[in-house]
Amino acid sequence: MKSWKIVTGVLVFSQISLGMALAAAPSLDKIVKPSKGYVWRLDAANKLRLPRSWRVDPANRMSGSGQPSILNLAALTQELQKQGIQPKQVILVDLRQEDHGYLNGTAVSWYGDNNWANVGKSDAAIRKEEARRLEKEENRETPYYHLDKKKKPHYKGTEKVQAALTEQQAAALFGLGYARFACTDHTWPEPAEVDAFLQWQKNLPADAWLHFHCQAGKGRTTAYMIMRDIWLNGQQDSLETICARQHALGGQDVLHMTHKEGWRQTIDDQKIYRLKQFYTYVKELQQGKITQSWTDYLKENP
């Protein structure tokens, strides 16, 4: 009975929060804090198969998934080629803030609680530390860990590392383009990353194909696929239509997320709030009603 009341309360709260106009987005300042990384997390085994959470959106020339391993990248490239997409057209859009890369082709990341080990760090600092951390593992016996359902690490095994690569280096092996927008896991992307993404995607070649990925292929990947969909179709499609389309492909049902944990619900409420703002922002920007960046828009519309 107690658990039923908790779930019911969360659902009611969520529906109320979706239906009313808040004065400002829920604050995450007391929730999202840096956590110290402490183990190499096994993200994807190096097997010739498509990465988990794989989906394709041909109309918008994009796809999404969880973190691919090296052989997952090979399978991904082969699958897109079957659909007439050549490697030189594909841009691997890396959405991970956490240190990650490839050890002997296996996809790994340096795990801190909630994937928040790099919260507050600049992109340049993250890339520098990430490259150093990966290089340090070469010619070493390195232990891997996997996370259980409660996100606790468990020892998986040890392997002698013969080759360590960053994701940009891995993309180059397959002739793929590469772009990174380092976003904090679970949350709506930071304003600077959204601005960088919007500016970057304005100048893409007409035949470019974007493959978005985060760790699991759900939260951050869905957010960016929705942002891209809004940019391309927001003038004629409602936000509900766009979100339903991306959910049907295999992404998160972003407008209807609920959690038992209060801190996760606050994060999701903030994500919904920002998503609705972003839809309005893009429509007004493309209509010429506003000209400011997303960062400046949020200063006026917190």
Q: What pTM, to 2 d.p., does this model score?
A: 0.91
User: What is the C-alpha to C-alpha distance for residues 72 and 70, in angstroms, rounded to an integer?
Assistant: 5
> How would you list the strands of the sheet with 106-111, edge to edge?
153-160, 141-147, 39-44, 106-111, 100-103, 164-165
**Cβ–Cβ under 8 Å, residues 26 and 221:** no
pLDDT tens profile 120-139: 999 999 999 999 999 999 99
pLDDT tens profile 246-272: 999 999 999 999 888 999 999 999 999
Mean pLDDT, to the nearest integer, of 291-295?
A: 98
pLDDT band at 182 (very low <50, low <70, confident <90, very high): very high
pLDDT tens profile 15-30: 334 444 456 888 998 9
Query: Is residue 286 predicted with pLDDT exceeding 70?
Result: yes
Mean pLDDT, to the nearest integer, of 65-85?
A: 98
Query: Is residue 9 predicted with pLDDT exceeding 70?
Result: no
- Give first-to-last CA distance, the chain, whole Å: 38
- Sequence letter at residue 36: K
Phi–psi pair at 207, nearest 5 degrees: -95, 10
